[in-house]
Chains A and B, each alone.
Chain A
Amino acid sequence: MNFFLLSLIKAAVVAFVLLTTLAYLQWVERKVIAHIQVRLGPSRVGPHGLLQPLADVIKLISKEDLIPPYVNKFLYLFAPFLAITMSLLSISVIPFGGEIHIFGDSTWMQLADLNIGVLVILAISSMGVYGIALAGWASNNKYSLLGGLRSSAQMISYELPLSMAVAAPLLLANTLSLRHIVLQQSGYYLGFIPRWSIFQGPMPQIFSFVIFLIAAFAETNRIPFDLPEAENELVAGYHTEYSSMKFAAFFMAEYANMVTVCAMTTTLFLGGWLPLWPASGGSSFVPTAIFLFAGAISLYHGLNPARKKDRITLPAVAVVFFLIAVLFLIPAAQAALTPLFWFAAKTGALLFIFIWIRGTLPRFRYDQLMAFAWKFMFPAAILNLLVTGLLVALFS
């Protein structure tokens, strides 16, 4: 098949899946936080509120698109565009799976494998700061300006420990291409401990993983580092003056950054699409088992319904789960889908941690945030990098 046609199809599929994930990530977040706080969460639009993202999109599109008269018009319109573009762009270098063969053609489950892949993601995320900073300035509003200032200071400060934490696993991998970083983590110690960066000798990157994750929370402006949009101090921070789709652009950018940063953590530290234990130990049947289990639970709750309409919806969900479980048993589909399953499972687990922490931790004070970045995270990241460098130089 033509290279351009194949790339176009891949780009379309990735864009569709990513945008759907963004919409439903918001539903997942609202549901999980609701259950943490012993509430129900969205439950009116569709079964279990599953059509809520669609309703939100319709609401945001049909709202009045207000441009306040006192803003700097060009930058005010440019900032959300910049934020959403930069956050959607970095997914293009993330590898989702290994090589697959379709219709006599073989292709990698990745849009572009660059030999500076890691640097490209860092460069794109450093450009994303402009979206937020300029939105805060162009709004011509003191709350927005304070939000923009806080976010640029925070992102500059946390980008240093983030980059230092990224550098340590790169020393083990000896490459900057994300695909080769994953391939380099394949194999198992003693036949069952995966050679992922967080377990890999001579220096397991567990500290680097924790530092990267904490810095990632700050880079994506999530609780407990969400000072740029602290609503009890700054109304809504940098997007106070934005309405309709321009507000949605910032919202989507935040979720897209979350997905990217989790996908990057998976790739760098958790072995990307590689399974938890070798296929000879039956790891290819994990997706089937999980979907069978989920289907059985749905069927059980459908037969003993808590609400009246569960009698119809939950068995339907169970049938879908069983069909997916069977799909994972077909050899051709299994080879292509199992890597995707492992990648999605790891990324999804990290995304769940993001949401879980949002439901658990209170917000930092501003001086605590800065002191933590410069006095703890940065020295710890440098120390970890030095020790890793020394051990790699001595033992390999």
Chain B
Amino acid sequence: MDVILFLIFAVIAVVCGINVVVQSHPISSAISLVGVMGSLAVLYLLLGAEFLAAAQVIVYAGAVMVLFIFVIMLLNAGGEIRHGRSIMAQVLGIPLLFAFLGLMAFFVQRLFPSTALVHFGAFQHGGAQDVGRALFTRFLLPFEVISVLILIAILGAVVLARKELE
């Protein structure tokens, strides 16, 4: 059951991911990205990280992507106009892509050699309480540093918006 669900949603995630690049209209790409986020949430759920799955849907699929679509709709962006592409990209593109994926796989295996196989349902500590405890004990410093970083980003946005007004 778990494996079947994993295969279904992994395929959906990959197809939507390819669709983000292939589609020529920005709205279609953004909706495909929502599909990627949603299927990633299901994969988190299958791995036992239910809090992360809900947060993924609320924050990424819900808030961030709605803002993306809002901006695309507000600018009324039209479809992408395709210019003539370089011959290099057409000839070397796909071999280079496979070479890149191979290199990535190689380095991941070298960096994390003793990775055990993933078992669905083996991980039990994905609830809200466990995540909260981890954030406020083991990962307290990164958590606080990231919140300061986000605060700086908000301040930057406010400064940029004020400049435009004057």
Contacts and interface: CB of A to CB of B under 8 A. Distances in A.
Contact of A116 (B31, B38, B62, B127): B127
Interface in B82-117: none
Interface in A108-139: 114-116, 119-120, 122-123, 126-127, 129-130, 133-134, 136-137
Contacts of A145: 73, 76
Contacts of B31: 75, 130, 134
B20 to A, nearest CB: 16
B79 to A, nearest CB: 11
Given A115-B50, A116-B128, A127 B62 contact: yes
Contacts of B76: 145
Nearest to A126: B62
A156 B70 contact: yes
A229 interface: no
Given A116-B128, A126-B58, A136 B63 contact: no
A219 interface: no
Is the interface on chain A under 10, 10 to 19, 20 to 34, or 35 or more residues?
A: 20 to 34
B58 A123 contact: yes
A149 B57 contact: no
A122 B58 contact: yes
Contacts of A159: 62-63
Task: Classify chain B's interface size.
Answer: 20 to 34
A153 interface: yes
B66 A119 contact: no
B66 A152 contact: yes
A133 B128 contact: no
A126 B38 CA distance: 12
Contacts of A120: 54
A148 interface: yes
A382 interface: no
B13 interface: no
Contacts of B161: none
- The majority secondary structure among interface residues of chain B is helix
Contacts of A153: 70
A173 interface: no
A129 B66 contact: yes
A127 B61 CA distance: 7
A152 B73 CA distance: 10
A119 B58 contact: yes
Contact of B66 (A133, A136, A176): A133
B122 interface: no
A201 B93 CA distance: 65
B34 interface: yes
A348 B38 CA distance: 34
Contacts of A136: 73
Contacts of B73: 133, 136-137, 145, 148-149, 152
Contacts of B16: none
Interface string B22-41: 00000100010010001000
Contacts of A129: 62, 66
Contacts of B63: 126, 156, 159
Interface of B: 27, 31, 34, 38, 50-51, 54-55, 57-58, 61-63, 66-67, 69-70, 73-74, 76, 127-128
23 contacts: A75-B27, A75-B31, A115-B50, A116-B50, A116-B51, A119-B55, A122-B54, A122-B58, A122-B62, A123-B54, A123-B61, A126-B63, A127-B62, A129-B62, A129-B66, A130-B34, A133-B66, A137-B27, A145-B73, A145-B76, A148-B73, A152-B73, A156-B66
Report, nearest first, the 9 A-B pairs whose CB atoms are least far apart. A126-B62, A119-B54, A123-B57, A152-B70, A123-B58, A116-B54, A116-B50, A137-B73, A123-B54
